[in-house]
Chain A
Amino acid sequence: MAIDDPDMMKREMKELQIRLAEAEDIIRAIREGEIDALVVRHPKREEEVFTIEGGTESYRTFMEAMDIGAAALSPSGQVLYVNSALSRLLGVERETLQREGLTAGLDAAAMQALEALVKRAHNGRSHCEIRFSQNGDERHALIHAAPLELWQDRGVALSFTDITHRMAMEQAQQSEQMALAILASAAEAVIVCNPLGIITHANDAVSAITAEPVTGKPFAEVLDLAIKAGGTEMQGGEFIRHVIRGHAYQGVEATAPSAPSARDLLISAAPLKVSGEKIAGCVVTLVDLTRRKIVEKQQLLLMGELDHRVKNTLALVLSISNRTASTEETIEGFRSAFSGRMRALAATHNTLAERSWSSIPMRDIVLTEVQPFEPNIKAKLTIGGTDFQLLPRAAIAVGLIVHELATNAVKYGALSSEAGHIEVSLRHDYDKPYAELSWVETGGPHVLPPTRTGFGRTVITRSMQYSPHGGADLDYRPEGVSCTIRIPAEDVV
C-alpha cells in the first residue's frame, strides 16, 4: 500500500469498506436464513458448493427415505419426480412412471379421480382416496395434493399413503361388528369358545340356560348340561373338547337340569375356523325345546283324548242306530229319527269343538238343540235360573236328551201348537251332588202317556245314568210333558 498517495489510499479504503459491508451482509444473510449454500474454496481443488440446509439432494434423500409415495407434477401434469416408495406402491418401475406418467400404474377410474384432484390442488390443498390393482391385488391409497411453486408457474406435489391395511382393518372391524350384531340378534342362544373351551362370546338368549355371566369362564363350568350324542350321554366339557378337536354335531338333544327356564335343549356345534383349516375354537347354538316339549306332551294328551272320544262317539252312533232301527217301523221313520239324532249329536260336538272341548254353558246346549225345530224360539222357549257349564261327557248326553224332548214337543207337545210354550229352568245348588234342568211344557195339546217305550224315552231317562248322581224323570202330565234332568256335579263347572 502506498501511503504517500492519498487518492490510492482513499480507493483502498473504499474497497475495504465495500468488502467489509459484503462480509457483514453475508453474516446477516446466514443468520437470517436468507441463503442455503456456501462456496468453499478448497486449498488444492477448485471451489465446491456446500449446501447448508434443504438442498435438492437433501430433499430427494429425504423423500427416498420415506415410506410415503411422493410425486411432483409439472403445470401440464407431466411427472417430474417419483420416489421409490411410490414406485413400489404402484408396482411399476420409477423410470416407467417418469416416462409414461402415473397412468402406467393406475387404471382409468383411479386416474380420473387423480386428475380431478390435481385440478383442485392448483387452488389449494386437497385429497382423495383411490382404489387400484397392484399385481392383481386390490389396494387403496389416500392421495394428498398441494400446490408446488415452480419456475414461473405452479405444479402439484402429491403424496400417496397406502391405506390398504387400514381399509382391511376397517372392513374386518365392520365384519366383526356385524357378526356380533348377528350374534346378539339371534333368537337362539349362541356361545363361542376359544380353543381352551373358555367362552369368549355369548348372546342374551344364553340367560335362559344359566343365570350367571358366562363370558370368560369355561363352558363346562357354567353350563350344567347332559348331552345325548351318538348313543351316549356326555357332559358339557367333554362335548366341547370333541367339537374343538374337529367334530361337528347337528341337533343333539340335551337337558340342563339347573337352568332357570330352558331345561330341554337342542344343541348344534361346529369347530370355528376363522381362516384356513386352523380351528380357533367352536360355535355352539342351543335351541330351547322346553315349550316345544310341553306342546308335544299336550299333543299326545289330546291325541289320546281324541282317540277315546272318537271310540265313544262311534259306540254311541252305533247304539243310536241300532236302537232307532229297533223302534222305528219304516225306513223313512228310521231315516228321519236317526238323522235328527245325528244332527243333535253333531251340534253339541260343534259347540264343544268351538270351545276346544273344554265346557259349554247349559243355556247354549238347550238353544242349539231346540233352535232347528222352532224358528220363533224367543216366543216359544224361556230359559230361567242360573246358568252353569257342562263338561263334554254331560254336554253330549244332555244334548241328546234335549233333542229327544224337542222332537217329542214338535210332534205331540208344546211346539206343535200356536199356544204351546216351554219353560226351562236351571238350578245348581252346591250342596247337592247334581245340577238340575227342568223342562216344562204348557199350552200344547192334551197329553196322553205313550203306549210303548220308544228309543227317545230311553235316551231321556238313561243317558245320565253313567253316574249314580245323574238321571232324568219324565212325566206325561195331561197339560204338558215335564222332565227333570239331573247332571252329576262332577261334570258341572
Chain B
Amino acid sequence: MTDMTDEPQQNTPTKLVLYVAGQTPKSMAAIRNLERICREKLPGRFAVEVIDLRQQPHLAREHGIVAIPTLVRELPTPIRKIIGDLSDSEKVLVHLSVGD
C-alpha cells in the first residue's frame, strides 16, 4: 500500500482508494493522473490509498473490484467507483462530486 496523502488541511481529507495491478501502463497512468488532479484541482481534499492487487488480490473483494485500475470513493455514501486510467479529469471531478 502507498499513501498519497496531500498536505494536511483543517478539514479531514476524504479517503480515496485506487486499485492497481503492479506497474501495468494503465495502473501507472491512473496513479499519475490522480496525483495530478489532486495536486492541481483538489489540494488537501483527498487522502489516497493505492492498493496493488498483484500483491494483495484478496483486497479486491472488499469493494468488489473487477477491472483495474479502479478508483473508489467510500465516503460520503453512496460509494462511487471510477473505472479506467483517470485520463478524463472532468469525469473524475464529476464522480468525486466536486463543486456540489
* A residues apposed to B, CB below 8 Å: 14, 18, 22, 25-26, 28-30, 32, 34-39, 46-49, 51, 54-57, 149, 151-152
CB distance from B17 to the nearest CB of A (A): 14
Contact, CB under 8 Å: B58 / A46 = yes
Inter-subunit contact B67/A26 (CB<8 Å): yes
Question: Contacts A49-B21, A55-B24 hold; do A39 and B66 have CB atoms under 8 A apart?
Answer: yes
Contact A49:B53 (CB < 8 A) given known A39-B68, A55-B21, A55-B24: yes
Within 8 A of A (CB), among B66-85: 66-70, 78, 81, 83-85
**Are A22 and B60 CB-contacts (below 8 A) given A36-B25, A37-B24, A151-B28?**
no
**Are A35 and B60 touching (Cβ within 8 A)?**
no
Please state if A38 and B68 are interface contacts (CB–CB under 8 Å): yes
Whether B85 pairs with A34 at a CB distance below 8 angstroms is: yes
Residue of A14, A26, A34, A47 touching B26 (CB-CB under 8 A): A34
CA distance A441 to B7 in the complex (A): 137
Q: How far is the CA of A14 from the CA of B79 in the complex (A)?
A: 12
B51 to chain A, nearest CB (A): 11
- Tell me whether A35 and B28 are in contact (CB under 8 A): no
Residues in A neighbouring B67, C-beta threshold 8 A: 26, 29-30, 35, 37-39
Bound CA–CA A279/B32 (angstroms): 66
| C-alpha spacing A30/B69, complex, angstroms | 11
Residues of chain B lying within 8 A (CB to CB) of residue A22: 81, 83
Give the CA-CA distance A307 to B25 in the complex, in Å: 103
A18 to B79, CA, bound (A): 9
CB distance from A172 to the nearest CB of B (A): 43
Q: Contact between A35 and B57 (Cβ–Cβ < 8 Å)?
A: no
- List 8 A-B residue pairs with CB atoms under 8 Å apart, sorted by A's residue number: A26-B83, A29-B67, A32-B84, A37-B24, A39-B68, A49-B21, A49-B22, A49-B60
Task: Return the CB mask of B43-62 against A: 1 if under 8 Å, else 0.
Answer: 00000000001100110110
Bound CA span A122–B65, Å: 37
Q: How far is the CB of A23 from chain B (nearest CB, A)?
A: 8
- Nearest to A26 among chain B residues (CB) is B67
Report which of A34, A39, A54, A149 forms a contact with B84, defined as CB distance below 8 A. Answer: A34
Chain B contact patch, size range: 20 to 34
Nearest-neighbour CB distance to chain B for A407, whole angstroms, equals 120
Contact between chains at A54 and B35 (CB < 8 Å): no
Partner of A18, one of B32, B35, B78, B83: B78
Compute how far the CA of A54 lies from the CA of B35 in the bound complex, rounded to whole angstroms: 22
With A34-B26, A54-B24 as known contacts, state yes or no: A49 contacts B68, CB within 8 Å. Answer: yes
The distance from the CB of A339 to the nearest CB of chain B, in whole angstroms, is: 115
Question: In the complex the two chains form, is B53's CB within 8 Å of A39's CB?
Answer: yes
Provide the residues of chain B in CB contact with A25, threshold 8 Å.
81, 83
- Pick the contact of B57: A14, A18, A47, A149 (CB < 8 A): A47
**With A and B bound together, what is the CA distance between A34 and B31 in angstroms?**
13
Question: Complex Cα distance A36/B53, Å?
Answer: 13
CB of B98 to closest CB in A, whole Å? 19
CB-based contact A49/B25 at 8 Å: no
Q: How far is the CB of A52 from chain B (nearest CB, A)?
A: 8
Alpha-carbon separation in the docked complex, A135 to B25 (Å): 38
A35 partner residues in chain B, CB cutoff 8 A: 26, 67-70, 83-85
Ranked nearest first, the 4 interchain pairs of A and B with the lowest CB-CB distance are A34-B84, A37-B21, A37-B68, A36-B26
B24 cross-chain contacts in A, Cβ below 8 A: 36-37, 51, 54-56
Q: Which residues in B have their C-beta under 8 angstroms from that of A55?
A: 21-24
> Which residue, of A22, A39, A46, A57, has the highest number of chain B Cβ atoms within 10 A?
A39
| Complex interface: chain A residues within 8 A of B61 (CB) | 47
State how many angstroms separate the Cβ of B86 from the closest Cβ of chain A: 9
In this complex, the member of A25, A36, A48 whose beta carbon has the largest number of chain B beta carbons within 10 angstroms is: A36
B59 (CB) vs chain A CBs: closest residue: A47
In the complex, what's the smallest C-beta–C-beta distance from A36 to chain B, in angstroms? 4
Most chain A CB neighbours (cut-off 10 Å) among B23, B58, B68, B87: B68
Instruction: Give A145 Cβ to nearest chain B Cβ, in Å.
Output: 20
Between B26, B31, B67, B83, the greatest number of chain A beta carbons within 10 A of the residue's beta carbon is seen for B67
Q: Which residues from B are CB-within-8-Å of A32?
A: 84
Chain A residues in 8 Å Cβ range of B66 = 26, 38-39
Chain B residues with CB under 8 Å of A18's CB are 78
Query: With A and B bound together, what is the CA distance between A55 and B25 in angstroms?
Result: 7
Pairwise interchain contact B27-A152, C-beta atoms closer than 8 A: no
With the chains together, A55 CA to B27 CA distance in Å?
9
Q: Is the CB–CB distance between A36 and B68 below 8 Å?
A: yes
Q: Which of A26, A37, A152 has the most CB of B within 10 A?
A: A37
List the B side residues contacting A26 at CB < 8 Å: 66-67, 83
A261 CA to B1 CA in the complex, in Å? Answer: 93
Complex CA distance for A36 and B85, rounded to whole angstroms = 9
> B57 CB to closest chain A CB, in angstroms?
4
Given contacts A18-B78, A34-B84, A35-B69, contact A51 B21 (CB under 8 A): yes
Further contacts, 14 of them, CB under 8 A, given A35-B84, A47-B57: A26-B67, A26-B83, A29-B67, A34-B83, A35-B85, A36-B24, A39-B57, A39-B60, A39-B65, A46-B57, A47-B53, A49-B54, A149-B32, A151-B35
